[in-house]
Amino acid sequence: MTQGQLDSSNEFSPFLDQLADAASAAIMPHFRQGFAVDNKREGGFDPVTIADRNGETAMRTLINRAYPAHGILGEEHGPENLDAENVWVLDPIDGTRAFITGLPTWGTLIGLRTNGKPSLGMMVQPYVGERFGGDCHTAWYKGSLGSRKLECRPCDQLKDATIFTTTPALFTDTERAAYDRVEDAVQLARYGTDCYAYCMVAAGHGDAVIESGLQAYDIVALVPIIEGAGGVVTTWTGGSPSDGGQIVASGDPRLHEILLRDLARTD
């Protein structure tokens, strides 16, 4: 257990590692191995594999056994008991496109929403052996670099910022125009990082993530990590990120205000 977890006031924090272990054991036998890829979307490509399904099943089994009164919202197997005070929000493989192409930039997202708000989260990358966790008050890392507290870095100007997005191709025309304005003003932009981008902001290696079209299971686990490291996560209009949508995450609250302003511009 990391020092960050020892400092966490959330009673469910130790359970994150149990869920991470279960998901990793179910997913890793399939990574860079032969497996079928199914498409969940007509007229597009939204891949899903046996690893996605088995990873979520493993986590659900543990949750139902340990906390039968809790709810679950998962990408692959749907909702149950969503009226519960505590609802686990699961994405067994965030970045399935990376997974099926052998890239280690995918991660398992384990989030907890308490009374509708993200309260606890972890991103697990079992291939490289990294875990990033947070409870909105503190955030922690455990992996090949040891165990340490996560802290966002200061950055109060776009010209000094490094930003991430999975791909600009996911934006609508209007969203793309807003994003391009921001990208043109920053020092560096990186694509294709999926959930890893948010963890890099929390770890102080980047400054913001700008995305759109997210579901709750894409973001709930990441909010407590960013916030626990001192950052901010909202929608593009400054609202709650709990249900997904247009999301902006920033390591520095001053940069966040600039991003909200620029993303709202219509010129």
What percent of the chain is modeled with pLDDT above 70? 92
The whole-number average pLDDT for the span 229-249 is 97
* Per-residue pLDDT reduced to its tens digit, 162-188: 999 999 998 999 999 999 999 999 999
The reported pLDDT for the residue numbered 43 is 61
Residue 62 in tokens: 């543990």
The whole-number average pLDDT for the span 260-267 is 85
Q: Are the C-beta atoms of residues 114 and 86 closer than 8 Å to each other?
A: yes
* Per-residue pLDDT reduced to its tens digit, 17-52: 999 999 999 999 988 887 666 665 566 656 668 888
pLDDT at residue 161 greater than cutoff 50 = yes
Q: Are the C-beta atoms of residues 249 and 151 closer than 8 Å to each other?
A: no
Lowest mean pLDDT across 42-51, 118-127, 137-146, 189-198: 42-51
Mean pLDDT score across all residues of the chain: 92
pLDDT at residue 117 greater than cutoff 70 = yes
Rounded to the nearest 10 degrees, what angle do helices 50-66 and 13-27 cross at? 150
The whole-number average pLDDT for the span 150-168 is 97
What is the rounded distance in angstroms from the CA atom of residue 209 to the CA atom of residue 200? Answer: 10
The reported pLDDT for the residue numbered 9 is 83
Question: Which stretch of DSSP H or E encloses residue 235?
Answer: strand 232-235
Confidence of residue 265 (pLDDT cuts 50, 70, 90): confident
Number of alpha carbons in the 13 Å side-chain half-sphere of residue 169: 4
* Per-residue pLDDT reduced to its tens digit, 69-106: 999 999 788 799 999 999 999 999 998 888 888 999 99
The reported pLDDT for the residue numbered 2 is 43
On the 0-12 / 13-18 / 19+ scale of CB atoms within 10 A, 16 is buried
The residue with tokens 């340990």 is 66
Lowest mean pLDDT across 95-99, 142-146, 209-213, 235-239: 95-99
The reported pLDDT for the residue numbered 206 is 98
Lowest mean pLDDT across 3-17, 202-216, 230-244: 3-17
Confidence of residue 202 (pLDDT cuts 50, 70, 90): very high
- Domains plus CATH for the chain? 3-149 (3.30.540.10), 158-264 (3.40.190.80)
What percent of the chain is modeled with pLDDT above 90? 80
pLDDT at residue 4 greater than cutoff 50 = no
109 to each of 55, 124, 173, 185, 224, how far by Cα in Å?
A: 11, 7, 29, 31, 12
